[in-house]
Amino acid sequence: MGEIADLFRILGFSRAIRMKQRYDEAQPFVRGYVATNALWALMSCGLADRMIEQETVDVEEFAKEKSLDRHVLTSLLDYLDGISLVRFEAGQVRLAQRGRHFIEETRGLFELTYAYEPLFTNLNDLLAGRKKYGPDVARRIEYVGRGSGMLCRDLPYPVMADIIARHKCRRVLDLGCGDLAFLFFLCEKVADLTGIGIDLDPKMVAYARDVLARSPLASRLRVEEADLRNLGTQAAGGGPEVDCVTAVDTFHEYLWNGTAEIVAALAKLRQQFPQALFVIGEFCNQPHEALRKRPTAFLEHHLFHDLTNQRIGEADLWRQLFREAGFQIVEERVFNLVGHGYFALKSP
C-alpha cells in the first residue's frame, strides 16, 4: 500500500488511475503482437508439434537436436509461460490448456496470418510507395494453403462435402487446390471418391506433391500445375469422368480487375464439363458498418485481401456471375455471420 500511496502523491489520484486504465487498454494489442510472433517461432522450429506429440519436452535436448540458440528459446518460453500458454519449469516445457487450444484447434488462424506477415514487415515501405505488392513483397503462398486448409475444415469443407455427398459425386476436380486439404477432407468422408487438384502456383503444386507423397491417400489423388482459365485435358483427367468441379475461395482472386475474366473462365469450364455439378465456396463481402458493430476475424481478412489486391464479392455479385456464365443455381447457403457462401451450379 505504501508504494501505491506514493504514486498517488507524486502523480495525483486521477492521473494515476487514468494512466493505468490507458496502459491496460493498450496492453492486449502489444501482447497479441509479441505472443503471435513467439508462437510462430515455436511452430516453425517444430517445438509446438513436439509438445503435442509427447506432452513434455526437454528444452536442452530439443535445442541441441534442432541447433537452436538456447538463450533465445528459453527467453521465448519464459515469456509464454508468463502469459499461460506454456508451462516451463526445471528445463521441461509443456503446453498449457490455452496454448494447446491455439496449436490444435485455431492453428489455421495463426498459419494464415503468417502467410501475410511479409506485408506488415514491409508496411512502411508499402505505405510510402517505395515497394509494391507483387514485384517487391509477396505473401507466403505455402502458408496461404496451409492456413486456409485448416480453417476451412471448421465450416466450408463440411458444408461443401454435404452437398457433394447428397448429389452422389465421386470424381472431383478441385480448382485452386492449394495443399489438397479439401480433397483430403472429401476422401476421409467418402470411401470411393477420387480427385484431381489443380493450382496455378508452381511452389504450391510442389508443396502439395510433397504432402501427397507422404499421404495414405496418394493412390486416390493427384495434383497438376494448371490455369483454371485455360484447363487442358491432362490436368482435367480426361474430362468426361469428372462429375464434380469444386473451388474453395478461388475465384475472388481474379476479381480485382473486374468480372469478365471470371465469367469467361466459368463459361469455358461449363462447356468442358457439361454434366458436372459445380460446387463453389466463396467469401461474401460484409458491409463495413456491420464489421464495425461486430468486428469478427473477417476484419483482418478484409485487410489481408485489400493489401494484396484481392477483391471480395457480395453474394449477389456471385449469383450474377454464375448466371452470366450460363449456370443455374440449384442450391445455395450463405452464412452472413462468417461472410461465406456456397453455391451448387448446373448447366441448364
| pLDDT tens for each residue of 267-293 | 999 999 999 999 999 999 888 888 899
pLDDT at 337 over 90: no
Give the DSSP letter string of 152-221: HTTTHHHHHHHHHHHTT--EEEEET-TTSHHHHHHHHH-TT-EEEEEES-HHHHHHHHHHHHTSTTTTTE
Look up the pTM and report it. Answer: 0.84
Higher pLDDT pick, 296 / 2: 296
pLDDT at 118 over 80: yes
**Sheet of strand 56-58, all strands in order from the earlier edge strand to the far edge:** 56-58, 92-95, 86-89
Per-residue pLDDT tens over the stretch 226-275: 999 988 765 655 455 899 999 999 999 899 889 999 999 999 999 999 99
What is the location of CATH 1.10.10.10 in the chain?
2-102
Residue 133: band (very low, low, confident or very high) from pLDDT cuts 50, 70, 90 = very high
pLDDT for position 240: 55
Residue listed under C-alpha cell 519436452: 57
Cα–Cα distance for residue pair 279/245, rounded to 1 Å: 6
Residue listed under C-alpha cell 506477415: 117
Percent of the residues in the chain that have a pLDDT greater than 70, as a whole number: 96
CA neighbor of 207 nearest in space, from 133, 117, 152, 144: 144
Say if residues 312 and 285 touch (Cβ distance below 8 Å): yes
pLDDT for position 336: 82
What is the location of CATH 3.40.50.150 in the chain?
141-346
Q: What is the mean pLDDT of residues 115-123?
A: 97
CATH number of 141-346: 3.40.50.150
Cell, residue 100 = 494447446
Higher pLDDT pick, 155 / 84: 84
Residue 199: band (very low, low, confident or very high) from pLDDT cuts 50, 70, 90 = very high
Average pLDDT over the chain reads 92
Cα–Cα distance for residue pair 282/285, rounded to 1 Å: 9
**Is 2-102 a CATH 3.30.300.130 domain?**
no
pLDDT for position 7: 67
pLDDT for position 198: 95
